[in-house]
Amino acid sequence: MRSYLHHHYRALCQAFAQLIHAPITTILTVAVIGIALALPSSLLVLLNNVKVLSRGWEGGTQITLYFKRDLTEASLQHAIDAIKLRPEVSRTRYITPDEGLRELEDHAGFRNILRQLPENPLPAVLEVYPAADIQNPDTMQILLTSLQQLPEVQAAKLDMQWLQRLYQIIALVERGVSVLLILLAMAVLLVVGNTIRLATQNHREEIAILKLIGATDAFVRRPFLYVGIFYGLMGGLVAWTLNSLLILLLDNPVQALASLYNSIYSLMGLSALAGFGLMLFGAFLGYLGSWVAVRRHIVAIAPR
């Protein structure tokens, strides 16, 4: 085991030396990997921020119930109390016909016309605010259907069509980001594989001599695998840095836009765990690309 670990340590040092001796190649390869990983990860970060904002918009969603006008005061109060006791309901706001008429006069701007009506045409209204754990289009629709079936309710209204459209757009963009991630991951494999292939060609004589004295293919390819892992790790670090810079550049404009709507919001970037996960993903791609390239080319190199 000690000898095995020592061989890995020497392969690690050899890989690091290869990167230092070819700085231009190292910088270009790492930059390409970093940009390739930064594109989908940045889109995912922005999508996560949109999801957080949409959850806040859900909190402002409400169901408006219009009661029948021929209800007695006792029947109306009984219905309101029953709705308040539902576990799906967080809070309610009752608007009497007189209050509704006053609000209409204040907001509509035709007070004189409403005063000429022989009687108040508005019904009693109850605004129902759902609990936080059911505030999504599917469960809200179920609650709406349940409330519509109450015998005291004349009509019910839920304006969530715009939110449903937003969810569909987010789902579509997520699917597109997944496809983009797969394509760019394949690009990373090709970049690393091509770089490692050139490295094996440059060390062709050395590899032939090692094989001549009895070195196994696993021993020969070990330093090249570590080179690929280094490429992936550093590319992931570059992608993480680019993500952070993007959030830093967009945060102030987003805060200024939120302030226009009397809101406070700050963009959330990649967490430390997600950043390390991005680096590990890059390392895995680097290892896979180098393994595919080295396994094929080292076998083809035979000692003379």
**Domains parsed from the chain with CATH numbers:** 2-57+164-300 (no CATH), 62-158 (3.30.70.3040)
Quote the pLDDT of residue 279. 93
Calpha distance 88→164 (Å, rounded) = 20
Kindly report, residue by residue over 219-268, the tens digit of the pLDDT: 777 888 888 899 999 999 999 999 999 988 888 888 887 777 666 778 88
Q: What are phi and psi of 160, to 5 degrees?
A: -125, 10
User: 94 pairs with which residues across the strands?
Assistant: 126
Contacts of residue 247, defined as CB under 8 A and 6 or more positions apart, other chains included, come to 45, 267, 268, 269
From the list 229, 218, 186, the residue with the least C-alpha distance to 18 is: 229
Binned at pLDDT 50, 70 and 90, residue 149 comes out as confident
DSSP E strands, 86-144: 89-95, 125-130
Quote the pLDDT of residue 43. 87
Q: What is the pTM of this model?
A: 0.67
How far from the centroid of its chain's Cα atoms is residue 104's Cα? 42
